[in-house]
Structure 1
Amino acid sequence: MADPEQPRQPTVSTTSSTPSDSFSSTASIAYDRGFLRTPQGLLLLAEIVLGMLVWALIAGTEYFLFPGFGWVMFVAVCYWVLSVFFLIIYITMAYTRISHVPWATVDLCFNGSAFVLYLIAAIVNACSITKERHHGSHNYNSWAASTFFAFMVTLCYAGHTYFCFMAWRART
Structure 2
Amino acid sequence: MASSVTGNYLPRGCAVFTTFPDILFIPELIIGGLVWILIASTRVAFAMPQGWVMFVSVFCFVFTTVWLLIFLFGCNKGSVWPAMDTGYNATAALFYLSAAVIEAYVTLAISGGDLYTYRLNISAVVMAFVATLLYVIHTILSALRWKSL
Shorter-chain TM-score bucket reads: 0.7 to 0.9
Match in the other structure for 2:148: 170
Residue correspondences, number: 136
C-alpha RMSD of matched pairs (Å): 1.6
Instruction: Give the 4+ runs in structure 1 shifted more than 6 A.
Output: none
Matched, 1:63 2:63: no
Match among 67, 73, 83 for residue 54 of structure 2: 73
Q: Distance in 1 between matches of 2:98 and 2:29?
A: 18
Listed one character per residue, the Cα deviations across residues 114-141 of structure 1 (whole Å, up to 9, x for unaligned) are: 11121111111111112233xx222111
Q: Is the 8 A contact 1:66 1:128 kept in 2?
A: no
The normalised TM-score by structure 2 is 0.84
Q: Is the 8 A contact 2:56 2:95 kept in 1?
A: yes
Q: Distance in 2 between matches of 1:47 and 1:161?
A: 12
Match in the other structure for 1:158: 136
Unaligned runs of 5+ in 2: 1-11
Q: In structure 2, the residue corresponding to 1:63 is in which secondary structure?
A: coil
The normalised TM-score by structure 1 is 0.73
Match in the other structure for 1:43: 24
Instruction: Name the % identity.
Output: 29
- Which structure has the larger Rg? 1
Unaligned runs of 5+ in 1: 1-30
Q: Distance in 2 between matches of 1:62 and 1:156?
A: 27
